[in-house]
Amino acid sequence: MVKPVDLLLTNAILLTMDETLSQFENGAVAVSGDSIVAAGPEAELRKQFEAKETMDCGGKVLMPGLVNAHTHVPMTLLRGLADDLRLDVWLMGYIMPVEREFVNPEFVRLGASIGCAEFIRSGVTTFADMYYYESAVAEATAAAGLRAVCGQTIMRFPAPDAQSYEDSLAATREFIEKWLHHPLIVPAVSPHAPYSCTEEILRATAALAAEFDVPLHTHISETSFEVENARRDWGMPVVPYVKKQNLFDAKVLAAHCVHIDTGEINTLKHHGAGVAHNPSSNLKLASGAAPVVEMLNAGLNVGIGTDGPASNNDLDMFEEMRLAAMLAKFHSVDPTSLPAQTAVLMATRLGAQAMHLGQVTGSLEPGKRADLILVDINQLHNSPHFRRDPNSVYAQIVYATKSTDVSDVMVNGKWVMRDRKLLTLNEQEMLAQAADLAKEVDRFLIARESSVLSKLIAIGGTTQEESFEIQVKVKVEDPQPILEALVKPGIKIVYNRHYREYDTYFKFKPEQGILRYREDEFLDERGEVDHVRYRLTLVGEPHEREFPSDVMLSRSRFLAPANQSLRFYREYFQPSEEIHIVKDRLRWLVRFKDTEFYVNLDRMDEPALGHFLEVKSRTWSRRDAEHKSTLVLELAKFLGVSTRETEAREYVKIVEERS
Ligand SMILES: [Zn+2]
């Protein structure tokens, strides 16, 4: 009996990407409503079905729409903002400060719409996203007619759409309730990464995802640095750590998994987690090569993702398939390790399975939604064709096809592109808005880069609170008399400390001040390191002034704990010059004439300059600074220091030159 269908696609090289990877040289697909009714030889389908409409595919490849298993789609608006930087400098130094300033629902909607246009043009019908205001991503995606797993980001830092993680969690619950059962959108929970969350957040997000049976999309083991930190802080690699936080109670989609071992691969497999491999991003950020072949051999569902368009910098899944194949070959020194057919499988069915959408999309099989594309492989750059090896068509797709060869795209039974014309989006209008926004972002960053202080504030490095330091610094030939003076009556020791200090001074143009990165090693009685502290101090030159006694120096200072590495600050601030100083410091907090002062007795080891005495106090007001300046001088005299003014003045100069 002949069955009616809505559409019969004929005269195609059909790649079904089903379990047996069946392909048909004269293939056809029958579609009714949003679903595929049949896929197979054209002659058979013509006998079985009577179609309202028949479309001749003109010998193009008819295959499942590509699945981008990991991205941050609104970041199309930040494409090219900052490149050729390390991940932490790129993320903490540029992307996050700009996101805090500019990201709102309109930004997200526009960025996601542009991303959807790029997806359609390059044959992507399904993607897994993770961003802020994810409801706006979902709206834009549904309006564009694409399919997505939309993950609302949750992390321990304040985000553009939430002041606290509790706020994000509540908003994510609402987001899930709103989008659950939508035909195109699957809402998801996205704890950003184990390092940017807490145990509590990981547990709460897993519980929320499990409650609604929605996917949990996160970043796992992207860099070796992350894994080193995990071993140091948690005593184990990342996968066992998240397992301990019950993350696998949820349906996990883990992006990256670059630095995981065999045990972790088995854990992911055991818990049915999917993996998104991001070759462009891993190459561009030099994160490393994920053990893709080992993961595939273990039976894991490994999809391919582009990662965000600000770290790629495009959303081209044809390029990504090619790189996935080539990176695996290069990494294993084996050209047979990841054949073209496997790369196509990863970019289609395996990707859908990794996103926990395997029942819905990823292959052209009866019962699945009609998410399909037509690819013209008759272009100059993709000719001629050999059919001796049936797999040669996959090689054509992976090694020679360009994303611009995609001519037609259907999602959920509806065309979103016909003959390279977009049917659901207006590119010109969106690009004009993006250009205006880029100008605003440029203005913001140019203003910020004009001062070291504003760059420090931009990374959350300090508040704008000023303090003043009053100090006398003198070179001493013999420290013994000072040690003796400290125990005389008239002075009271509140406490004493012993440190080893490693200072790095970043110099800029004089009016920008000097930034000091200090590593303090606290030494115990036996002279062994007890603990370490890292601090950042911006010493502002413009506020420097000398008090009447001539030996006092006061400069405004901005203090901050140094949460990032010295290397991070070097790459972020890009000083014109760097100076390193190492010293052994004995420090006393003393009470002298009802006022507290610090007394530092330093032995300068690098450069080897001998001993120095510093008597200092810090205050938050200029008036107080002037008052204390007299007492500082008195205390120095009490400690037996010659404060002949010329000598002292000279030393102030030495310190300034050296620091
Ligand atoms: Zn990512």
Q: What is the pLDDT of residues 585-614, one digit of tens each?
A: 999 999 998 889 999 999 999 888 899 888
CA 386 to ligand 1 centroid distance, Å? 38
CA 278 to ligand 1 centroid distance, Å? 8
CA 354 to ligand 1 centroid distance, Å? 15
CA 281 to ligand 1 centroid distance, Å? 8
CA 104 to ligand 1 centroid distance, Å? 19
CA 448 to ligand 1 centroid distance, Å? 26
What single-letter DSSP state applies at residue 364? Answer: -
Q: What is the pLDDT of residues 210-268, one digit of tens each?
A: 999 999 999 999 999 999 999 999 999 999 999 999 999 999 999 999 999 999 999 99
The three-state secondary structure class of 441 is helix
- Strand positions, DSSP E, 230-385: 251-256, 274-277, 301-304, 372-375
CA 195 to ligand 1 centroid distance, Å? 14
The per-residue pLDDT for 471 is: 76
CA 189 to ligand 1 centroid distance, Å? 14
CA 255 to ligand 1 centroid distance, Å? 7
CA 217 to ligand 1 centroid distance, Å? 10
Q: Extract the tokens encoding 373.
A: 């594309």
CA 80 to ligand 1 centroid distance, Å? 16
Widest CA span in the chain: 112
Which residues face 598 on adjacent strands? 589, 616
What is the crossing angle of helices 165-179 and 199-212, to 10°?
10
Distance CA 74, CA 72 (A): 6
C-alpha separations of 273 from 251, 254, 301, 406 in Å:
6, 7, 8, 31
Distance CA 453, CA 455 (A): 5
CA 219 to ligand 1 centroid distance, Å? 6
Average pLDDT over residues 167-188: 97
Strand pairing class (147-154; 185-191)? parallel
- CA count, 13 A, side-chain hemisphere, 10: 15
Its pTM stands at 0.83
Confidence of residue 347 (pLDDT cuts 50, 70, 90): very high
- H or E element in which residue 119 lies: helix 105-121
CA 220 to ligand 1 centroid distance, Å? 10
Nearest alpha-carbon partner for 210 in 252, 243, 182: 252
Distance CA 226, CA 238 (A): 8
CA 29 to ligand 1 centroid distance, Å? 35
CA 193 to ligand 1 centroid distance, Å? 9
Average pLDDT over residues 462-468: 58
Q: Which amino acid, 45?
A: L
CA 310 to ligand 1 centroid distance, Å? 10
CA 620 to ligand 1 centroid distance, Å? 43
Q: Which amino acid, 478?
A: D
Confidence of residue 371 (pLDDT cuts 50, 70, 90): very high
CA 306 to ligand 1 centroid distance, Å? 8
Average pLDDT over the chain, rounded to an integer: 90
CA 71 to ligand 1 centroid distance, Å? 6
How far the first Cα of the chain sits from its last, in Å, is 91
CA 75 to ligand 1 centroid distance, Å? 11
The per-residue pLDDT for 465 is: 57
CA 327 to ligand 1 centroid distance, Å? 18
Q: Are 8 and 36 in contact (CB under 8 A)?
A: no
CA 204 to ligand 1 centroid distance, Å? 21
Average pLDDT over residues 77-89: 91
Contacts of 389 by beta carbon, 8 Å cutoff, 6+ apart? none
The per-residue pLDDT for 555 is: 55
Distance CA 374, CA 368 (A): 17
Q: What is the pLDDT of residues 381-440, one digit of tens each?
A: 999 999 899 999 999 999 999 999 999 999 999 999 999 999 999 999 999 999 999 999
CA 296 to ligand 1 centroid distance, Å? 21
Phi and psi torsions of 159, nearest 5°: -115, 165
CA 349 to ligand 1 centroid distance, Å? 21
Distance CA 51, CA 554 (A): 86
CA 40 to ligand 1 centroid distance, Å? 37
- Strand positions, DSSP E, 121-209: 124-131, 147-154, 185-191
CA 26 to ligand 1 centroid distance, Å? 39
Confidence of residue 273 (pLDDT cuts 50, 70, 90): very high
Nearest alpha-carbon partner for 17 in 276, 395, 350, 306: 350
CA 190 to ligand 1 centroid distance, Å? 11
The three-state secondary structure class of 619 is strand
The per-residue pLDDT for 617 is: 82
CA 542 to ligand 1 centroid distance, Å? 42
CA 72 to ligand 1 centroid distance, Å? 6
The per-residue pLDDT for 561 is: 74
Alpha-carbon dihedral 536, 540, 545, 550, rounded to 10 degrees = 40
CA 134 to ligand 1 centroid distance, Å? 15
Lowest mean pLDDT among 144-153, 324-333, 630-639: 630-639
CA 307 to ligand 1 centroid distance, Å? 5
CA 328 to ligand 1 centroid distance, Å? 20
The three-state secondary structure class of 592 is strand
Q: What is the pLDDT of residues 278-306, one digit of tens each?
A: 999 999 999 999 999 999 999 999 999 99
CA 350 to ligand 1 centroid distance, Å? 19
The three-state secondary structure class of 414 is strand
Q: Are 598 and 616 in contact (CB under 8 A)?
A: yes
pLDDT beyond 70 at 377: yes
Secondary structure, 3-state, 521-549:
EEECCCCCEEEEEEEEEEEEEEEEEECCC
CA 226 to ligand 1 centroid distance, Å? 14
CA 79 to ligand 1 centroid distance, Å? 14
CA 153 to ligand 1 centroid distance, Å? 11
Write the burial class of residue 435 (CB in 10 Å: 0-12 exposed, 13-18 middle, 19+ buried): exposed
Distance CA 475, CA 336 (A): 70
The per-residue pLDDT for 430 is: 97
Number of H helices, E strands in the chain: 22, 25
Average pLDDT over residues 93-104: 92
The per-residue pLDDT for 34 is: 98
CA 547 to ligand 1 centroid distance, Å? 54
Task: State whether the Cα torsion 86-87-88-92 is positive or negative.
Answer: positive
CA 70 to ligand 1 centroid distance, Å? 6
Phi and psi torsions of 270, nearest 5°: -55, -35
Q: Extract the tokens encoding 266.
A: 């088995």
CA 73 to ligand 1 centroid distance, Å? 10
Q: What is the pLDDT of residues 469-507, one digit of tens each?
A: 777 778 888 889 899 989 889 899 999 999 999 999 998
CA 376 to ligand 1 centroid distance, Å? 31
